Amino acid sequence: MESLRHQLTRFIQDPAARRDPAGLYRRLLTEAPVLDLGRVHVISGYEEIVTVLMHPGTAVDPAAIGLDRPGSSALAQVLARTLPMRDGADHTRLKRLATAAFSARRLAEIRARIETTTEELLAPLLAGGSFDLVADLAVPLPVAVSCAILDVPPADRERVTGWAGLVARSLLDPFAGAEQTAALDAEFEGFRDWVEELCAARAARPGSDLISRLVQARDAGQLDDEDLLAFVVMLFANGLETLTSGLAVAAWQLLKNPALAAGIRAEPHTAEAVFDECQRLGSPVRASARGLGGDVQVGDTLLPAGRVVLLLYAAANRDPRRFPDPDRFDPARAERRHLAFGHGPHHCLGAPLSLMAGGTVLALLAAAGAERELSTPLDESTARWSEQFVFGGLRELPVEVQQLTALGAGV
């Protein structure tokens, strides 16, 4: 058991140890779905994680169990008020305000915008002959989709993408020094001013978009100015690591497996299921932490109140008790309720949008393969993966594009 603890500690601390984690996941799930690492309990079993997530005493806000919130910048204070960081009735109240914007009817309207936006971004990349799928598509697409959904003028997309990147960097490095904090706050002021102008414009001329709905809720006393700012920040920045990492993982699978692209070309409606299975196997969000506001019984282990638990979603998504033959890539598998988008009260509100965007990207890349050869010079040994523990996407994914007619001409 000590060797398992050592292996898991290296996995958490050393990016090199995360390159091929399937063996560690199997050991955890077989030997210790709940493992005491001393400072935290690491939970890797699917049902065990669900038990913790559904317990009423489980909290995402570290302050709920007496711990300090990370970061001291003005941006960090706003991030602490975003929906993913709220608990209990407060979380329920805020989530209810946004739920209507993600109704089935609204999502059907949004689909066309996602497809158009993705086509606009991808077309010049395919025409250019080569591009980096991460920097040129997976980073700008989440922000472009948010801009399209929220009726933000296309002229503002570049600025918003820069600000969203600022928020993402702050999330990944919340313990910046004094000089970095001052720089963050100065840059964030521009984002805050822009958001205030956008909200004022929607207050004067409301539409059917989510920002107009949130402005109306603020004017009705259902949330304050800082809650409104936090909502808008979240809407623009939330997909920059999650969807960005998810798109890179899925495109990597497509480029490595030409038969997968051929299958999507033949049956485009399967693209979302393929993307979803990529999220299960690739788990762009490896893990999340929770604080326990009360005792929680997980299997044979009693986790005491005040304890911090690390929920290893990536391992749970390969739990054979939930997913038969879990290491096999199977978009048609019967059980698809994985944990890549979370579970319970904090299940990702934007999960349907991520599936739409991911499926659209895969369908367009697969369709492009009918007239072009899409390939990457990377292999398993040369691929550069994120060194962050929480997010597991590729740092870059160069794609080379060659017309099939040009290939045939040289034969």
Residue 364 is part of a domain; what is its CATH number? 1.10.630.10
Q: How many helices (H) and strands (E) does the chain have?
A: 18, 10
Instruction: State the residue range of the domain holding 68.
Output: 2-409
Scanning 81-209, the segments in alpha helix (DSSP H) are 88-99, 104-128, 133, 140-149, 157-172, 178-204
Which residues lie closer than 8 Å to 191 by C-beta, 6 or more apart?
163, 166, 167, 233
CA gap 161, 135 in Å, rounded: 11
CA gap 364, 254 in Å, rounded: 11
Q: Which amino acid is at 382?
A: T
CA gap 142, 408 in Å, rounded: 36
CA gap 315, 283 in Å, rounded: 9
Classify residue 104 by burial, with Cβ atoms within 10 Å: 0-12, 13-18, 19+. exposed
Tokens at residue 44, please? 């890797």
The two beta strands, 301-303 and 296-298, are: antiparallel
Digitized pLDDT (tens) for each residue of the chain, 411 residues in all: 669 999 999 999 999 899 889 999 999 999 999 999 988 999 999 999 999 999 999 999 888 888 877 766 788 888 888 888 889 888 888 888 877 667 777 778 788 888 998 999 999 999 999 999 999 999 889 888 888 777 888 788 888 888 888 777 776 666 566 677 787 788 888 888 998 999 999 999 998 788 888 899 899 998 899 989 888 888 877 766 789 999 999 999 999 999 999 999 999 999 999 999 999 999 989 999 999 999 999 999 999 999 999 999 999 999 999 999 999 999 999 888 999 999 999 988 888 889 999 999 999 999 999 999 999 999 988 998 888 888 888 999 999 999 876 555 444
Whole-model pTM: value is: 0.91
H or E stretch including 291?
A: strand 287-292
Total domains present in the chain: 1
CA gap 114, 143 in Å, rounded: 11
Tokens at residue 330, please? 């199977």
CA gap 336, 340 in Å, rounded: 10
Beta bridge partners of 308: 291
The confidence score (pLDDT) of residue 36 equals 94
Tokens at residue 409, please? 């001409």
Greatest CA span in the chain, whole angstroms? 70
Beta bridge partners of 398: 132
The confidence score (pLDDT) of residue 322 equals 96
CA separation, residue 347 to residues 163, 319, 341, 351 (Å): 25, 19, 6, 8
CA separation, residue 243 to residues 2, 82, 238, 357, 393 (Å): 36, 18, 8, 9, 10
Which residues lie closer than 8 Å to 359 by C-beta, 6 or more apart?
271, 272, 274, 275
Which residues lie closer than 8 Å to 253 by C-beta, 6 or more apart?
260, 274, 278, 282, 329
Cα three-residue angle 19-298-88, rounded to 5 degrees: 90
397 and 133 Cβ atoms separated by less than 8 Å: yes
Tokens at residue 238, please? 């939330």
